[in-house]
Structure 1
Amino acid sequence: MAHSMSIRGAQIPLQCQLCEGSTNVKWKCKECELLMCQNCTEKIHPKFKMADMHHVVEIKNVGTNHQDQFQKPNRAKCKIHISQDYCIFCQTCDELVCPSCLTKSHQKHDLQEIDEIFTEDVKSLKRCNTELKNRFLDFYEKEIEKIEKIKVDNMDQLQMVKCKLEKQETKFMSALKSFKQTILEDIENKSSAKESVASTAKSTIQENIVDITNKLDVNTNVANTNDIENVHKTAKNARKWLASAREPVSIDLKVFKKLPDFFPEPIDENTLGTLFGHLYDRNEIPISLVEIYTSNTPSIDRLKVNIGKELWISDVPTKLLRRIRTNNSCTVSILQNFSDHQVFDMSLLSTQALIFTVYNNRNDLYVMIGNETKNFCSFAPLIPRAVHVSKSGLIYISTRDSETVFKKSDSSIRQIVKLDKDKKQDIVFECTGTSKVITNITRIRDGINCLYVVDALLPNLQGRIISLGKDRTLKWIYNGELAASKYNFVPSDLEVTSAGNIVLCDMLNDALHILAKDGTILHHILLSKLGIYGPCCLEIIQSDKMYIGCRQEETEETKNSNLYLVSLSEI
């Protein structure tokens, strides 16, 4: 398409300024200000364009705002031939070259004009800028907005809590004064009643004193006279009164009850928290009670879910081992009952056969087959304690020597042994002599490339949780100090969730601790809020369901323990 220009209304075709007569003018060189036809642009001008970096554009785009079509690179000197400018881009070598470079080192290479690569790079940078803005800058600016909103919300929450605290303080002090006044009025009323009884008794006694005093005076005065008739009459009346008078009765002190004493309650954090209030962490995992089953067992020291609603439970003090089934009526049915089975720890094989260790320092691991207890494996001369079967079927056993548990000597041995399907033993962790790495492993669970164990340090089972790497390294220790607890930390059982977190029960503090894989505490949950006390064992049966068995306190009255099913989300 030929272009033209308008002169006084007449359209005059544009002519090429490099050849004569051609009106097929389509291009313009911005540097030379030359109008060119297609033929000259392709054959003649490229020489100038290559050497001088001329910028040739279509005439139709001259004067438009397409800045990316007219933007041109600045002249740049060649790093090798400093007297010459870069004139072209070598795609093969991915570098700018000058005419000398072109003739010497870049023969038969793929070449591209500088302005074209420059234009492409400019467009690429603009596309990158667009992506940087849309993908990153806008994102981070929104994140800043979120943070600022969090800060504002945090300050608002802080002010609101401060306001509530001040109002609560006013209400608390008012209620405290009112309560004090109530107690004071009560004891004052009791004191007034006692005062009234004492006054009445005193008045009666005083009347008796006056009466006796008058009689004494009369008798004395008459005795001092010579009137025989009056003396005889008075003496006769005195004898008659004394003969009929009642013996004096002492005051009954029971009538005068002592006033009650005031015994101030200890003002500790629990008392203040109960009376005044406390902060509620809204991030705390919600826990709810699903069912309570009466187990017909004094205590539940260990439990394992068998199939469906069947469970194995054991009670150490009574040496009972039972297989039970939970019913819809929140009761349990006893399917099997074994006496004289003082189970220390137990687990289930892939065949659902129960394997367990016992007290009394026996060297064997036992298995329950039908109604019979058989030896599964011997660890003599060592004593097996904790037992755990992994999902892959490996059996982990903690063993120790037969010497005193908590006082180690140079000959002491503590091991964790792995059994394969052929019952071949392999020591995966060992601690000998007086080393304090492990003392008395009572529970084992496996995680990803590690084992989690409960290590009891004292006879009262005060202890800690240890993570042991399968490369025989100690990874971390959790001793319960980060949780706000009233009593010593007594971890009695633990489970590993599908997310890799560790749930453990703290028996003395009636609590659950939830730990992350690195041993940091995520949540501390008081089970006493649900009426659950003395949690001794637990087992996760679904992603958010868990059984908790409890140990009863030692009292004269034996009670049946309960089995609790709770829902614990986000574990």
Structure 2
Amino acid sequence: MAHSGSVKRSQDILACGLCETDAKIKVKCMDCDLYMCQKCTEKVHAKFKHADLHDIVALKDIHSHIDANSEFEPVKCKDHRKQLCCMVCLTCELLVCPKCIAKTHRSHLMEEIQTACQQKVEEMKKMQDQVHIKIEKFIGKINLMAEIEKSKSNEIEQKILEEEKQAREVQSKCLWLLKEHKEGAHRHAEQISKQESELLEKEKDIEMVRQHVENMQKSKNAEMFFGAVKSLQTKLESIDQSVSPGSFNIKSQQYVPNYKIQTNSKMVEIEIQFEIKSKYEMNIFSINSITSDKDGNIWIADGCKEIQQLQVKEGLKTLKSHTNFRGYPEIRCLNKSVLLTSFHQICQLAANDESTVFKDLSPNLPYTLHVSDNEIIVGMNCASAYDKVETPIIVRLGFDGEIIQVYKNRGRQLLTRDAVRCCTTINDDDICYIDSNFQRDLKGDVVLINKHGIIQWKYRGNSFINSNEHFFTPVEVLRTKSNNLIISDKKQHALHVVTAKGELMTILDLTLMGLEEPGVMTIDVSGTLWIESKELNKGILSHVIFSGF
């Protein structure tokens, strides 16, 4: 038909479907599904084939021609009580009558009531499907967290049972020792009693000899008297030696405890809270490093060799910006200055914006930094090192730049991959760091070594979310005030929280809060956590309040 290309579809300004210029709609042809002005009705539509058989309805009477399948009854206009609503104004989201259209809504987007309702139903169905999918995902993630807690519960139960087993073994051993002690004490008492009886018998014998001496004295027989005296003297000397020995032997029992009984064991329920207070969309390529200063400002280094100082006040305000740095610098604040890695060097950016070389570590490549209360920890990029055994992987520096200690990768135990991606300290002397692939897949482990470079533990992720297919991708490790560790797992969109002993406390799935791919992090002077991540493929810097770990 000649008019088919000019028919106005839904969500257009209501105008004549034939001339497409006149907005003074008078009628609708129910057969052609066209709104028409008076002129086109008489001059154009009348020439259509069988036009005289078409159902032409005045705009004010459209409500009486509602489709038989419609579930909606005519609605009186709130502003014009004698009029019935015939359209939906999509611009104002109101039901309108012909007078409303003519007076107020002429240039607005219009739709038929039935069509608009059908569209709303479809929108609600789509929204319901989306909500259903989100609910299923949320339930899945909640169930995963429940499985993790169940696994931890089983581990705790096994530890308690092991301790109970040890306690039973100690109890059994103590009962055996008690029995042994009683038997020994009984033998000792019998021995003392025997010695006492022997001495008493000797004393009786002496008394008998003494009586014999007295009798001999009374008999006036000198020879027999002196014989009896000699016999008495011999017995007395013998007994005197036995009761006045030069040495003394006695068996004495002693208890030597050699069992550690965990009398202080207890169950502690920790309430972990994690709340995103603010999200800031970042207009930069990527954040390569982040740190904070003593004034509460945030410093970031992006992938375009630029360093920015940001002030946090309602939003993020750039205070300073520095460019032309080589490589992708790692930045850390030291007093009023900023330390940054730059190929073979660690540079220092002073408060007056002057940059100097703090320490040249050639031919090594410093890759990550950590500033503690009394020293600087430097982690190396060993990806291009020819000899990865003798190459230093971690160096301790004083605040004057002097080397305190060097850790080499002898036996390739401390570093099994390419680089120390991030590091921090626990209990001052222990160093926790990420043993990571440099530019490939970010696969890595978290390692803790003591002051002497001996590995205390390795954390390789958790089997509930990490596997050969979904491997552990740690990017940053931070120590909290409670001496626990927060680890960002970029590819699995999660934060792992572990204790200083490398034991898992919990895993936080950031997708539940709309965040993906958590990367570099820092904790500012107020204890607030800052996380670089993605949300709908946009770079996001999140301001997070946490407690419990």
Q: TM-score range by the shorter chain?
A: 0.3 to 0.5
TM-score, scaled to structure 1: 0.46
- TM-score where L is the length of structure 2: 0.48
Higher Cα Rg, which structure? 1
